[in-house]
């Protein structure tokens, strides 16, 4: 704890100090990363809106040079089973003025250590064809992965999880931390298996996702009978009411144990949260997680080998408060912190001398 100063000492130190005059060495280190020289920052309401206020690099494709983490929008909701509108999710998250650049729990300023860019939205050949749109997502994100860039996506409905995993899990199956109200492991309905209720069944069957390294957190609602695949494939399922019973620390321990040391994907559906915290989504389910619980779980994943992630199902027209977009932007920032730490760890292992 810092030394407590008297009023006279406070006047002497802070009476003529600017906002960038910070004396605590740890806070000073953060301020240097955020401010640079002086105390000037761009106003959060100025400039073109981008994901997490990252530099806009719409011209980065197809080489994606000088980028470590790509933030991208996927404005697609052709796979929803109920209320449409998640196609407007990326725009709503971009319009959130103030998230980051510092995470006080993780003590992280990710943009100070990795090159982050908003690369725009996935270009679609057709706004009407779900299958071709999934092909477009896979092709675009595969370009990122091939360039050594970690993709963090904002959807869009959860059907985008399948093409994202086809890109990220192409070389080897990945584990997954999946925070959601629904397991999304149901089968084909009405002749379609690419809807937002079943991407992770198909990802397992396609050899992209390791079910024994997959944990699903926050599960609840009236569709439990559709998700037997989660159990028989070996996924770990934690229902929303169990999060309260187990406690956040134990849930984090379980998630870390399930994911292990291998490559891990993070998928966050905003309907994991109770509608009191995130009403702007297509399939709300009461009895969900609080925003504090969700952020606590994510922050507990630091150090895992995160190779990609997404935040999905933001449908802003159902939320006049903008709370859902606010939460989604904060979740995206937390996943960015996890990805930046994973990149740092991977880089340190590459430069370690052989033993």
- C-alpha torsion angle, residues 17, 18, 23, 25 (rounded to 10): -170
Whole-angstrom Cα Rg for the chain: 21
Question: Is residue 261 annotated as involved in ligand binding?
Answer: no
Question: Is residue 66 annotated as involved in ligand binding?
Answer: no
**CA-CA distance, 89 to 133, in Å (whole number)?**
16
Question: Is residue 184 annotated as involved in ligand binding?
Answer: yes
Q: Which two tokens stand for residue 5?
A: 């100063």
**CA-CA distance, 39 to 26, in Å (whole number)?**
17
Question: Is residue 250 annotated as involved in ligand binding?
Answer: no
Q: Show the DSSP H helices in the chain as ranges.
A: 7-14, 25-35, 89-94, 130-146, 161-168, 199-205, 228-232, 240-246, 248-259, 291-299, 323-351
CB atoms within 10 A of CB 56: 18
Question: Is residue 113 annotated as involved in ligand binding?
Answer: no
DSSP-assigned beta bridge partners for residue 70 = 117, 151
Would the CA dihedral through 263, 332, 214, 140 be positive or negative? negative
Of the candidates 208, 203, 156, the residue with the CA atom closest to the CA atom of residue 183: 203
Question: Is residue 118 annotated as involved in ligand binding?
Answer: no
Q: Which two tokens stand for residue 151?
A: 């993709």
DSSP string, 307-324: EEEEEE---GGG-TT-HH
Annotated binding site: 158, 180, 182, 184, 269, 271
Annotated binding site for Mn(2+): 158, 180, 182, 184, 269, 271
């Amino acid at each position: 704890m810092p030394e407590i100063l008297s009023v006279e000492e406070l006047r002497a130190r802070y009476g003529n100090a600017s906002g960038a005059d910070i004396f605590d060495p740890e806070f000073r280190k953060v301020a240097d990363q955020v401010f640079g020289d002086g105390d000037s920052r761009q106003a959060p309401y100025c400039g073109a809106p981008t994901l997490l206020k990252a530099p806009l690099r719409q011209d980065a494709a197809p080489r994606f040079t000088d980028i470590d983490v790509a933030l991208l929008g996927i404005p697609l909701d052709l796979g929803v089973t109920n209320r449409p509108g998640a196609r407007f999710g990326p725009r709503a998250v971009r319009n959130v003025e103030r998230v980051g650049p510092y995470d006080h729990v993780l003590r992280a300023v990710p943009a100070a250590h990795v090159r982050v860019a908003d690369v725009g939205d996935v270009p679609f050949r057709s706004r009407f064809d779900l299958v071709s749109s999934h092909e477009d997502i896979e092709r675009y994100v595969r370009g990122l992965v091939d360039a050594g860039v970690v993709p963090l996506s904002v959807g869009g409905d959860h059907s985008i999880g399948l093409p994202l995993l086809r890109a990220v899990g192409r070389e080897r199956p990945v584990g997954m931390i999946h925070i959601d109200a629904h397991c999304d492991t149901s089968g084909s309905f009405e002749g379609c298996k690419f809807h937002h209720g079943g991407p992770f069944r198909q990802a397992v069957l396609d050899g992209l996702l390791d079910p024994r390294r997959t944990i699903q957190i926050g599960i609840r609602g009236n569709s439990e009978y559709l998700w037997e695949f989660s159990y028989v494939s070996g996924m770990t399922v934690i229902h929303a009411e169990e999060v309260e019973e187990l406690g956040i620390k134990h849930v984090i321990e379980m998630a870390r144990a399930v994911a292990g040391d291998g490559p891990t994907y993070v998928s966050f559906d905003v309907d994991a949260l109770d509608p009191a915290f995130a009403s702007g989504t297509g399939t709300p389910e009461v009895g969900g997680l609080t925003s504090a619980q969700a952020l606590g779980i994510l922050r507990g994943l630091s150090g895992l080998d995160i190779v990609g992630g997404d935040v999905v199902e933001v449908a802003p027209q159902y939320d006049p408060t903008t709370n859902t977009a606010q939460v989604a932007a904060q979740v995206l920032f937390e996943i960015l912190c996890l990805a930046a730490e994973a990149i740092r760890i991977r880089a340190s292992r590459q430069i370690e001398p052989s033993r």
